[in-house]
């Protein structure tokens, strides 16, 4: 009787269980909606996840993280500031027009034009100019030797010049056309984005005929969607969510160590941490293994430096500070800093429990720590403001999305950078030299010395390499990558 | 009567302007969105360049004057995060908000008022105590928790309703229940008090003396008299439903203006926040005005007094 009632209710409201989904559509639950469909505007993770399936990029990374061809087939430096790209000639945009070198030049000129007000400008503003130098060739000039150029170009989506010029920036953002494996079918703001396969895609027909990206802010709801088959894959889960899902029969978890490093910023220019001994003592007071096992449930890998192995410039042989509370206590005594107040500034964007664990660890070695929580813009304003206002300590999760040390320790610790609360001419010389040469071996040597200085001076403490966690249907084949790429083209049912 | 409405309208516009001014300055005093938009590692020059392009380096009074100027021309501006006209962004969400508020109001009134009447009429019985427990639960359960429980029960375990999203009536049921629960309790309590108050009056005794049953007396005489305070609550409740749906919309991934508001506040998308606030305050004011007019309809004494 109850079953019949249930069936009647289900029929009346037209909501039969959603398990019977067409298998050729992949449904993805994302924490948020796409902000802009135009790949040259916003680049928050949700927008990035969606529009990268619509566009091709000049270069891309393979699963191992190596930079490999996409629109460009080959490239060579003709001098330290000039690089020539050979392009494919068989790529068509979704409107049938051919992708030409002019589109590549236009894409570079557009994103580097301040009038577009692109938040991504700072990633490309080392490019001085680009020009078409052959029927399938583009030449790029950088302002100075710029070793991170290729890593940045992985993020350069190629937009169609003729179409963008015809409809204008605003209309393009509403109805984008790319050359990627999927085309935009409909975009219901705040609800979902529907993509359909580009059957004539140059790398071959996509496995999934359609993709739906849904905006579901609450992680408990995303998990419920997965459990009822309403969605096939989701991301943005916490380690606790992951542990709770380990025994779901129809679902599987997949995690990958990313290029995002969790670290503690230590103010070397103001407050009690101005004393190097206090900074070193803090480094010895932190018990990474406990943080990883208790807070991250094992979803993290410890790192001695403020960089991950997924980045170029990572040096494994620079020693970390061992966890040694007794030594830390002695050093604090020696510095006369017993009972000194360490002010820790933070925002709700960061794991509250980690702040509290650090507080406990510092109090164990004789310091006091006050935690000030503020909203993200206020936190950033203080953190990026004067050393006196930036607090003594804060938690950070850093990813340059370029997998290069230059995008991490240069902005974090180079004097003059808004993030840096540290001055050291020797360090500055090393990171400056590392960004002025294209020779990988020399760059590595510079970074090695730079990390040794950072180890001794402790303007920051590397905690762990963050992991991205995905929950998906057991039948879905998907290999996550360190740069958190989400290419539906690379997924299929097993 | 017309003078009354005009003066209420004037007050309403003044209140909306006040709300808008406060929101404008508070949002900006706690930081502009530039720092949220730039990639990590952008230099000070790059940050300042973007801030200048977005116009946030101008003095606040000038930004405010420019905004009011645009508003006077009904130009709500462009979202600096979504790069699309703000009016369109907010307007797209309004149908969802209206649908959810209607569903919740239906739950609140449809369950709350009958429950209140029964609690008053059945005063002192086990039925009243059972209903009182139900009402208390509706009032006390936080929506972020009751929402998840509803999803687990009806979505995951029973599989009757979709766990999230906005695909037709089925998607609306759980958010309406979660959002309507608090209002339901308010209606039940207010109705109970109003009906109890009326039941003790002489006209009820007189009606019973004329031979009407207790039920006839309640339906025929008491309810209309008890309606005035309930209408007031309803007017306030509509405002609450629009503004208070933030958590429910987040839990159920319902794309209403509550969710839009919270996302826009987080990303400091000023113009969107201001437009949402303007809309919500106008609705608040309009429903209160409507309630005023309804009083006159229900109670001729108010009509004559005005």
> pLDDT digits over B131-164, tens only?
999 889 888 888 888 899 999 999 999 989 999 8
Work out how many domains chain A is built from and give that number. Answer: 3
Q: Cβ contacts of residue B134 below 8 Å, gap of 6+? A: B115
**From the CA of A65, how many Å to the nearest CA of chain B?**
20
The answer to whether position B260 is within a domain reads: yes
Q: In terms of domains, do A319 and A395 share one? A: yes
Q: In this structure, are A247 and A271 located in the same domain?
A: no
Q: Last residue of a domain, which of A161, A189, A213? A: A161
Mutate to test the interface with A, among B26, B29, B31, B41 (most CBs of A within 10 A): B41
- Asked if residue B36 is part of any domain, the answer here is no
In a shared domain, residues A264 and A412: yes
Is residue A110 domain-resident? yes
Cβ–Cβ below 8 Å for B36 and A123: no
pLDDT in tens, chain A (494 residues): 444 444 444 434 444 444 444 589 999 999 999 999 999 998 888 999 999 999 999 999 998 899 999 999 999 999 999 999 999 999 999 999 999 999 999 999 999 998 888 888 888 989 999 999 999 999 999 999 999 999 999 999 999 999 999 999 999 999 999 999 999 999 988 889 999 999 999 999 999 999 999 999 999 999 999 999 999 999 999 999 999 999 899 999 999 999 999 999 999 999 999 999 999 999 999 999 999 999 999 999 999 999 999 999 999 999 889 999 999 999 999 999 999 999 999 999 899 999 999 999 999 999 999 999 998 888 988 998 899 999 999 999 999 889 999 999 999 999 988 899 999 999 999 999 999 999 999 999 999 999 999 999 999 999 999 999 999 999 999 999 998 899 999 999 98
Give yes or no: residues A206 and A331 share one domain. no
On whether the CB atoms of residues A49 and A213 are closer than 8 A, the answer is yes
**A221 and A245 assigned to the same domain:** yes
Determine the pLDDT at residue A7: 42
Interface test with A, best of B40, B176, B270 (most A CBs within 10 A): B40
In a domain, A19, yes or no: no
Q: Retrieve residue B295's tokens.
A: 């009083």
The CATH number for B225's domain is 1.10.3720.10
Task: Report the run of H or E that residue A403 belongs to, with start and end.
Answer: none
Give a yes or no: residue B11 inside a domain.
no
A306 and A157 inside one domain: no
- pLDDT at residue number A122: 83
- What CATH number should be reported for the domain holding residue A244? 3.40.190.10
How far is residue B94's CA from residue B117's CA, in Å, rounded to a whole number?
Answer: 33
- A40 within some domain: no
Determine contact: A51 vs chain B, CB below 8 A. Answer: no
| Intervals of chain B under pLDDT 70 | 1, 243-244, 302-306
Q: Quick one: A265 and A239 in the same domain? A: no
The alpha carbon of residue B27 is apart from the nearest alpha carbon of chain A, in Å, by 10
C-alpha dihedral sign at A108, A112, A117, A122: positive
Q: Are residues A231 and A310 in the same domain?
A: no
Cβ within 8 Å, pair A378-B31? yes
Reduce the secondary structure of chain B to three states and give it as a string.
Answer: CHHHHHHHHHHHHHHHHHHHHHHHHHHHHCCCCHHHHCCCCCCHHHHHHHHHHHCCCCCHHHHHHHHHHHHHCCCCCECCCCCCEHHHHHHHHHHHHHHHHHHHHHHHHHHHHHHHHHHHHCCCCHHHHHHHHHHHHHHHCCHHHHHHHHHHHHHHHCCCCCCCCCCCHHHHHHHHHHHHHHHHHHHHHHHHHHHHHHHCCHHHHHHHHCCCCHHHHHHHHHHHHHHHHHHHHHHHHHHHHHHCCHHHHHHCCCCCHHHHHHHHHHCCCHHHHHHHHHHHHHHHHHHHHHHHHHHHHHCHHHHHHC
Burial class (CB in 10 A: 0-12, 13-18, 19+), A258: buried
Flag if A224 and B156 touch (Cβ within 8 Å). Answer: yes
Angstrom distance (rounded) from CA A177 to CA A58: 16
- A197 and A243 in a single domain? The answer is yes
Q: Which helix (H) or strand (E) holds A13?
A: none
Interchain CB distance below 8 Å, B170 and A398 = no
Closest-CA distance, B182 to chain A, in angstroms, reads: 21
Backbone φ and ψ for B275, nearest 5 degrees, come out as: -70, -40
**Full residue range of the structural domain in which residue A195 is found:** 25-33+172-256+468-493
The answer on A324 and A351 residing in a single domain is: yes
Partner residue opposite A173 with nearest CB, options B84, B92, B161 = B84
Residues A320, A205 share a domain: no
Has residue B169 been placed in a domain?
yes
Does A204 share its domain with A290? no
Instruction: State the total domains in chain B.
Output: 1
- Nearest CA to B47 among A260, A385, A392, A43? A385
Is residue B59 one of the residues assigned to a domain? no
The pLDDT, as a whole number, for residue A318 is 93
Residue of B157, B160, B233 whose CA lies nearest to B191: B233
Q: What is the pLDDT of residue B302?
A: 66
Which residue do the tokens 């709770």 mark? Answer: A244
Q: How far apart are CA A58 and CA B285, in angstroms?
A: 54
Residue B73 domain flag: no
B54 touches chain A (CB under 8 A): yes
Q: Pick B161's closest partner by Cβ from A15, A115, A216.
A: A15
Full residue range of the structural domain in which residue B114 is found:
86-305
Query: How long, in residues, is chain B?
Result: 306
What CATH number has the domain bearing residue A345? 3.10.105.10
Q: Considering only residues 66 to 95 of chain B, which have any Cβ-Cβ distance to chain A shorter than 8 Å?
A: 78, 81-84, 89, 92-93
Please say which residue of A161, A192, A212 terminates a domain.
A161
| Residues of A (74-133) whose Cβ lies below 8 Å from B | 114-115, 117, 119-123, 125
Other C-beta atoms closer than 10 Å to the C-beta of A276 total 16
Provide the pLDDT for residue B166: 85
- Whether residue B192 lies within 8 A of chain A, CB to CB, comes out as no
CB contact under 8 A, A114 and B49: yes
Nearest to A297 by CA among A244, A362, A227, A229: A244
Q: Given CB atoms, is B244 within the 8 Å cutoff of chain A?
A: no
pLDDT in tens, A145-166: 999 999 999 999 999 999 999 9
The answer to the question of residue B71 being in a domain is no
Domain membership of residue A84 (yes or no) is yes
CA gap A403, A461 in Å, rounded: 19
Asked if residues A262 and A440 have their Cβ atoms less than 8 Å apart, the reply is no
Cβ–Cβ below 8 Å for A18 and B162: yes
- Residue A131 backbone dihedrals phi, psi, to 5 degrees: -145, 155
Is A16 within a domain? no
How many contacts, defined by CB atoms under 8 Å, are there between A and B? 169
CA distance A113 to chain B (A): 12
Contacts of A10 in chain B (CB under 8 A): 160
- A189 contact partners, CB below 8 Å, separation of at least 6: A33, B82, B89, B92, B93, B255
In B, which residues are within 8 Å of A220 by CB distance? 148, 151, 251
CB-count exposure of residue B128 (10 Å: 0-12, 13-18, 19+)? middle
Residue B76: both structure tokens together: 């709500």
Cβ atoms of residues A403 and A147 within 8 Å: no
> Which residues, in sequence order, are bridge partners of residue A137?
A86, A134
B250 CB near a chain A CB, below 8 Å?
yes
Residue A15 falls within a domain, yes or no?
no
Q: Residue A318 and residue A239: Cα distance in Å, rounded?
A: 29
- At A220, list the tokens: 């408990």
pLDDT of res. A8? 40
Is B22 within the bounds of a domain? no
Decide if A476 is inside a domain: yes
Report the predicted TM-score, pTM, of the whole model to 2 decimal places: 0.87
Alpha carbon of A74: minimum distance to chain B alpha carbons (Å): 28
């Amino acid at each position: 009787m109850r079953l019949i009632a249930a069936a009647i209710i289900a029929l009346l409201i037209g909501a039969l269980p959603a398990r019977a989904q067409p298998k050729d559509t992949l449904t993805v639950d994302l924490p948020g909606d796409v902000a802009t469909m135009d790949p040259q505007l916003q680049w928050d993770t949700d927008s990035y996840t969606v529009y990268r399936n619509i566009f091709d990029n000049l270069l891309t990374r393979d699963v191992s993280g190596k930079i490999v061809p996409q629109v460009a087939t080959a490239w060579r430096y003709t001098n330290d500031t000039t690089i020539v790209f050979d392009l494919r000639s068989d790529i068509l945009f979704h409107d049938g027009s051919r992708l030409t070198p002019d589109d590549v030049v236009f894409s570079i000129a557009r994103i580097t034009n301040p009038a577009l007000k692109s938040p991504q400008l700072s990633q490309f503003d080392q490019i001085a100019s680009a020009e078409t130098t052959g029927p399938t060739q583009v030449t790029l000039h950088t302002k100075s030797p710029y070793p991170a150029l290729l890593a940045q170009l992985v993020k350069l989506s190629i937009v169609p010049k003729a179409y963008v010029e015809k409809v204008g920036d605003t209309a393009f953002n509403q109805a984008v056309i790319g050359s990627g494996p999927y085309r935009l079918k409909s975009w219901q703001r705040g609800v979902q984005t529907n993509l359909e396969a580009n059957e004539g895609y140059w790398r071959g027909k996509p496995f999934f005929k359609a993709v739906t990206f849904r905006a579901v802010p609450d992680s408990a709801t995303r998990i419920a969607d997965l459990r009822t088959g309403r969605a096939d894959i989701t991301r943005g889960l916490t380690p606790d969510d992951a542990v709770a899902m380990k025994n779901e029969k129809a679902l599987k978890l997949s995690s990958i160590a990313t290029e995002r490093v969790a670290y503690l910023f230590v103010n070397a220019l103001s407050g009690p941490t101005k004393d190097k001994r206090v900074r070193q003592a803090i480094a010895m007071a932190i018990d990474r293994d406990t943080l990883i096992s208790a807070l991250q449930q094992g979803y993290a890998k410890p790192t001695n430096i403020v960089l991950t192995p997924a980045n170029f410039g990572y040096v494994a042989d620079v020693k970390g500070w061992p966890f040694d509370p007794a030594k830390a206590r002695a050093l604090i005594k020696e510095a006369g800093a017993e009972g000194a107040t360490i002010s820790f500034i933070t925002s709700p964007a960061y794991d509250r429990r980690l702040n509290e664990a650090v507080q406990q660890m510092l109090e164990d070695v004789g310091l006091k720590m006050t935690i000030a929580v503020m909203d993200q813009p206020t936190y950033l304003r203080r953190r990026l403001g004067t050393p006196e206002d930036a607090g003594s300590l804060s938690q950070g999760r850093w990813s340059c999305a370029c997998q290069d040390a230059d995008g991490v320790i240069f902005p974090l610790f180079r004097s003059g950078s808004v993030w840096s609360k540290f001055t050291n001419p020797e360090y500055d010389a090393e990171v400056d030299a590392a960004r002025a040469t294209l020779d990988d071996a020399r760059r590595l040597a510079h970074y090695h010395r730079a990390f040794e200085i950072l180890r001794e001076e402790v303007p920051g403490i590397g905690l762990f390499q963050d992991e991205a966690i995905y929950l998906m249907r057991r039948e879905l084949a998907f290999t996550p990558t360190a740069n958190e790429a989400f290419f539906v083209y690379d997924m299929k049912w097993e | 009567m017309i003078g009354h409405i005009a003066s209420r309208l004037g007050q309403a516009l003044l209140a909306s302007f006040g709300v808008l001014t406060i929101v404008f300055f508070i949002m900006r005093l706690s930081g502009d969105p530039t720092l949220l938009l730039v990639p990590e590692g952008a230099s000070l020059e790059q940050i300042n360049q973007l801030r200048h392009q977005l116009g946030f380096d101008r003095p606040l009074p000038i930004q405010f004057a420019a905004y009011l100027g645009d508003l006077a021309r009904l130009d709500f501006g462009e979202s600096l995060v979504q790069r699309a006209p703000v009016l369109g962004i907010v307007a797209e969400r309004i149908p969802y908000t209206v649908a959810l508020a209607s569903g919740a109001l239906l739950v609140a009134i449809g369950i709350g008022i009958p429950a209140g009447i029964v609690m008053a009429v059945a005063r002192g019985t086990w039925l009243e105590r059972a209903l009182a427990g139900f009402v208390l639960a509706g009032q006390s359960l936080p929506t972020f928790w009751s929402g998840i429980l509803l999803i687990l029960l009806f979505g995951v375990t029973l599989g009757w309703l979709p766990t999230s999203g906005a695909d037709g009536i089925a998607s609306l049921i759980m958010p309406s229940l979660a959002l309507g629960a608090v209002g339901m309790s308010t209606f039940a309590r207010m109705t109970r008090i109003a009906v109890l108050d009326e039941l003790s009056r002489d006209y009820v005794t007189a009606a019973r003396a004329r031979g009407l049953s207790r039920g006839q007396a309640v339906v025929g005489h008491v309810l209309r008299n008890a309606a005035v305070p309930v209408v007031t609550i309803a007017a306030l409740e509509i405002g609450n439903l629009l503004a208070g749906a933030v958590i429910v919309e987040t839990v159920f991934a319902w794309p209403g203006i509550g969710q839009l508001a919270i996302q826009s506040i987080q990303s400091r998308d000023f113009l969107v926040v201001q437009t949402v606030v303007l809309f919500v305050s106008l609705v608040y004011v309009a429903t209160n005005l409507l309630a005023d007019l309804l009083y006159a309809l229900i109670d001729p004494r108010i009509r004559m007094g005005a």
